[in-house]
Amino acid sequence: MGVWGSKLYANDTTCDVRDTYLDFLQDQLSNQESYEKTLDKYIEYIGDEEEPLFWFALAETQWKVGRLMPEVKENALYWIEKSADKILFPDSSFNSVAWNKTLLNLKNKLNSAMRSEKRMEKLELNPWKLNDVYAYQFHKDESKDTEMYKKYILIQKIGEHPYYEKQKIRMQIHFIDHMFNEIPKLENINNYRILPSDSLEFNRPLQMHTGISLVKNTHYPEKHLTYLGNIQGPPHKSIIAHNCIDWQNIEEQIKIFFFVWKQRVYESTKDGIYRYNR
């Protein structure tokens, strides 16, 4: 399980559960069917250390769309009371204070009046053409205290990947490892290296790209994306990227990748796979 923060959706598990459940609803399945299919997909979590995250994500998402089921709420509240920070994150370096605040907020939300049932819409998970390049401008509050604010990073679509077993197709993208003060020219893309979409781990192939998903259409930052054109980007090979980020939290996630790899050197092996060595 990848973890990049203490917010509810700052880990792979909760993002996957949320996105899968919402996708079933967007396919116009009933709430019961969407719940059952989501549970069936992640049945290995039940009885496993990641079970609390399953119920947290499902309960919060169902509450948001006005479909919170009693058994889902009951399970989520049960795990909140079980000191889920110690169960999920026994490493003392994890920010348990912030995570417990996240769980308290979740508890209060689940015990509050639920929203009215929300109509679900279809999402376009794969809107760009292969090799399309966009300049994304950092604009969110969480970036104001960083060197990224109001600057641009280049995002390029480099492939497609099934969303899950229903074969929904999402984009595979990579980021160019440079912050631009102004929108750059497209031909400059090959002057820079690729930013790993990865945590800092030693002596293994790096994830040089990631999937990106959309939870709701309003999360797509259209007015902060500038289309530059279509061009073959920097060549690279890596292990297939099974990780996925989402448009809503893109700045938080890029910020982690950017500061982890800033001024670090990584090299390509003979077969073109990138590795980082201590």
Work out the mean pLDDT of the chain and round it to a whole number.
86
* Per-residue pLDDT tens over the stretch 146-182: 899 999 999 999 988 776 555 567 899 999 999 999 9
Give the three-state DSSP class for 141: helix
Estimate to the nearest angstrom the gap between the alpha carbon of 49 and the chain centroid: 20
Say which residue the tokens 């490493």 belong to. 91
pLDDT value of position 241: 62
pLDDT value of position 243: 76
Using a 10 angstrom Cβ sphere, with 0-12 exposed, 13-18 middle and 19 or more buried, the burial of residue 81 is exposed
pLDDT value of position 92: 56
> Which ranges of the chain have pLDDT less than 50?
none
* Per-residue pLDDT tens over the stretch 177-197: 999 999 999 988 888 999 999
Identify the sign of the CA torsion 55, 117, 248, 34: positive
| Beta bridge pairs of residue 213 | 246
Residues 19, 37: contact at Cβ < 8 Å? no
pLDDT value of position 98: 84
List, in sequence order, every beta strand (DSSP E) within the chain. 132-137, 152-162, 169-176, 194-195, 210-213, 225-230, 244-246, 267-268, 274-275
Distance, in Å, from the CA atom of 258 to the CA atom of 167, rounded to the nearest integer, reads 31
pLDDT value of position 164: 57
